[in-house]
């Protein structure tokens, strides 16, 4: 029997609290390699976060007035949001283009995107020197409603709400709330359309933030097309994360995946590799146009130029070719290898724009402290813990309860009658 029915069966309201209490209990083995590594880091990170809010941001970071944005913005926020791009791409493919073969990965992709935005919002709060002013970008205070930061803040907030609505049917199924499930399922398409629009604006808006730093970013990474480059790269960054995360989930959560969906996995990542190839080709071509237009050929024979070539050739061109070849050869191993290289390339690109190539000519360069790295790992590991908790309890990878299909069948005759009356 589905545990959700146990909730709705009790009218005194106590069943829901008993159910939630039971769900808080851990499942599975505690002594796993991930737990052994992550738990000490999380506790240490929590202590460092307390120090950060107690003594100020300078107590644990190497940030300064000259370099106000560091690892927490460059990796936790800017890179993390790129990896969350798989949510808007997959929902567009399934709900707008009606590509049903990808439907089985919609929920896990949306969950990954929602948690990414939620935790990177928390990382952004850590980075603010005066965190109590976090409301300012949203209301336009001290920035103005025409500020890029004002737009990014609103895109960020509204997209999180849209993703929560997209994922909410899974929560309703977990709680056995049939009436709420029907309402929330009816809102899904509107939330998807709204979310796709917001996400595209947000991905490009993050790039637009750096348009104001022309004199501070190395010429090989600065251009007027940063918003477009950020948007295009979010497509293959997000899908590479879907391939990487899906490959791990197939092993870690194999008991929850039906034989049908398990057999579909290779076909899904095979199709995603084709899309990544096209998106990476467009990105590489745009980067080539930017290089030609900027006339920075002389900078290629410098240390920063060699670093730029490593990024473009080693982590864009090479994985693009791997994606293309693996699609033709239907080689799953090479697809996964290409996904890992692509993710490393996206990390490198975002850090080059926000940290490495930012004020590259300073006498004293910014290098993140070990405490900044520990806090970043704490954010990442905590997100994985919550992701695992949700996967083990909600119908994300496993099939929905039987009553969901029953409700769909009963809704079809009712809809047909309404159409006939109209």
Give the global pTM. 0.89
Q: What's the Cα-to-Cα distance from 294 to each of 117, 282, 291, 297, 316, rounded to whole Å?
A: 34, 18, 5, 8, 20
Q: Is residue 34 part of a domain?
A: no
Q: What are the tokens at 327? A: 């699609």
Q: What is the pLDDT of residue 417?
A: 54
Q: Measured between alpha carbons, how far is 377 from 373 in angstroms, rounded to an integer? A: 6
Output Rg (C-alpha) for the chain, integer angstroms: 23
Residue 54, helix vs strand vs coil: helix
What's the DSSP call for residue 217?
B
pLDDT value of position 331: 94
User: For position 353, what pLDDT does the model report?
Assistant: 95
Distance CA(338)–CA(274), nearest Å, equals 12
For each successive 10 residues of the chain (422 residues), what is the average pLDDT? 43 60 71 92 97 93 88 91 95 95 94 92 84 79 74 88 95 90 93 93 90 92 95 97 94 86 90 97 96 92 96 97 95 96 97 93 90 96 94 90 77 52 53
How far apart (Å, rounded) are the C-alpha atoms in residues 356 and 261?
42
DSSP letter for each residue of 144-155: -TT-HHHHHHHH
The answer to whether residue 107 sits within a structural domain is: yes
> Which of 16, 93, 55 lies closest to 274 in space, CA to CA?
93
The residues facing 217 across adjacent strands are 358
Structure tokens at 126: 């850590």
Rounded to whole angstroms, how far apart are CA atoms 348 and 319? 14
Tokens matching residue 140: 């336009």
3-state helix, strand, coil in the chain (%, to 5): 80, 0, 20
Output the six-digit token pair for 91: 């929902």
In a domain, 270, yes or no: yes
Are the C-beta atoms of 399 and 97 separated by less than 8 Å?
no
What is the model's pLDDT at position 387? 95
134-154 as b/e, with b when 16 or more CB fall inside 10 Å?
eebbeeeeebeeeebbbbbbb
Residue 4 is predicted with a pLDDT of: 42
Q: String of b and e for 364-388 (b: at least 16 CB within 10 Å)?
A: eebebbebbebbbbbbbbbbeeebb
Task: Give the other-Cβ count within 10 Å of 174's Cβ.
Answer: 22
Tell me whether residue 49 is in a domain: yes
CB 258 within 8 A of CB 399: yes
Q: Is residue 3 part of a domain?
A: no
Place of tokens 């001290």: 142
Look at residue 374 in the predicted model and tell me its pLDDT. 97
**In CATH, what number is assigned to the domain containing residue 206?**
1.20.1630.10
Q: What is the pLDDT of residue 36?
A: 94
Report how far residue 10's alpha carbon sits from residue 1's, in angstroms, rounded to the nearest whole number: 15
Integer Cα distance of 215 and 359 in angstroms = 8
Q: What does the alpha-carbon distance between residue 72 and residue 125 come to, in Å, rounded to a whole number?
A: 10
C-alpha–C-alpha distance, residues 278 and 285, integer Å? 11
Q: Is residue 120 part of a domain?
A: yes
Count structural domains, the chain.
Answer: 1
Question: To which residue do tokens 């926000």 refer?
Answer: 354
pLDDT (0 to 100) of residue 421: 57
Domain of residue 101 covers 41-395
Task: Give the bridge partners for 358, in sequence order.
Answer: 217
Q: Within a domain: residue 234?
A: yes
Q: Are 370 and 362 in contact (CB under 8 A)?
A: no
For residue 15, being part of any structural domain is answered with: no
The pLDDT score that the predictor gives to residue 120 is 81
Spatial distance between the Cα atoms of 221 and 307, rounded to a whole number of angstroms: 11
Q: For residue 401, what is the DSSP state?
A: P
Asked whether 175 and 7 are in contact (CB, 8 A), the reply is: yes
Asked if 336 contacts 244 with a C-beta cutoff of 8 angstroms, the reply is: yes
Distance CA 219, CA 226 (A): 12
Q: What was the pLDDT predicted at 145?
A: 72
Sign of torsion over alpha carbons 386, 392, 398, 404: negative
């Amino acid at each position: 029997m589905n545990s959700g029915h146990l909730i709705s069966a009790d009218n005194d309201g106590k069943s829901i609290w008993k159910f939630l209490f039971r769900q808080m209990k851990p499942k599975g083995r505690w002594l796993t390699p991930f737990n052994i590594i992550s738990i000490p880091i999380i506790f240490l990170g929590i202590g460092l976060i307390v120090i950060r809010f107690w003594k100020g941001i300078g107590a644990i970071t190497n940030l300064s007035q000259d370099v106000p944005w560091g690892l927490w913005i460059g990796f936790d926020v800017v890179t993390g949001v790129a990896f969350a791009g798989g949510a808007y791409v997959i929902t567009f493919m399934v709900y707008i283009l009606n590509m049903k073969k990808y439907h089985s990965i919609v929920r896990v992709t949306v969950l990954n995107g929602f948690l990414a935005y939620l935790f990177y919002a928390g990382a952004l709060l850590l980075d603010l020197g005066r965190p109590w002013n976090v409301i300012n970008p949203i209301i336009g205070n001290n920035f103005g409603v025409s500020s890029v930061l004002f737009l990014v803040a609103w895109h960020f907030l509204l997209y999180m709400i849209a993703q929560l609505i997209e994922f909410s049917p899974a929560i309703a199924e977990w709680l056995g709330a049939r009436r709420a499930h029907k309402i929330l399922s009816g809102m899904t398409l509107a939330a998807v359309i709204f979310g796709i629009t917001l996400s595209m604006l947000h991905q490009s808006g993050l790039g637009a933030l750096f348009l104001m730093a022309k004199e501070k970013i190395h010429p090989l990474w600065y251009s007027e097309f940063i918003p477009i480059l950020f948007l295009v790269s979010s497509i293959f960054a997000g899908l590479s994360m879907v391939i990487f995360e899906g490959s791990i989930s197939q092993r870690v959560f194999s008991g929850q995946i039906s034989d049908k969906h398990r057999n579909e996995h290779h076909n899904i990542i095979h199709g995603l590799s084709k899309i990544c190839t096209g998106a990476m080709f467009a990105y590489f071509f745009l980067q080539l146009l930017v290089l030609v237009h900027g006339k920075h050929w002389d900078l290629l024979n410098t240390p920063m130029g060699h670093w730029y070539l490593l990024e473009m050739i080693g982590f864009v061109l090479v994985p693009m070719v791997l994606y293309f070849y693996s699609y033709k050869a239907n080689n799953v191993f090479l697809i996964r290898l290409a996904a890992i290289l692509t993710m490393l390339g996206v990390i490198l690109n975002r850090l080059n724009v926000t940290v490495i190539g930012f004020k590259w000519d300073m006498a004293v360069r910014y290098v993140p402290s070990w405490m900044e790295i520990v806090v970043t790992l704490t954010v990442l590991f905590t997100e994985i813990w919550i992701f695992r908790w949700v996967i083990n309890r909600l119908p994300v990878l496993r099939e929905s309860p039987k009553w969901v299909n029953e409700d769909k069948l009963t809704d079809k005759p009712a809809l047909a009658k309404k159409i006939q009356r109209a």
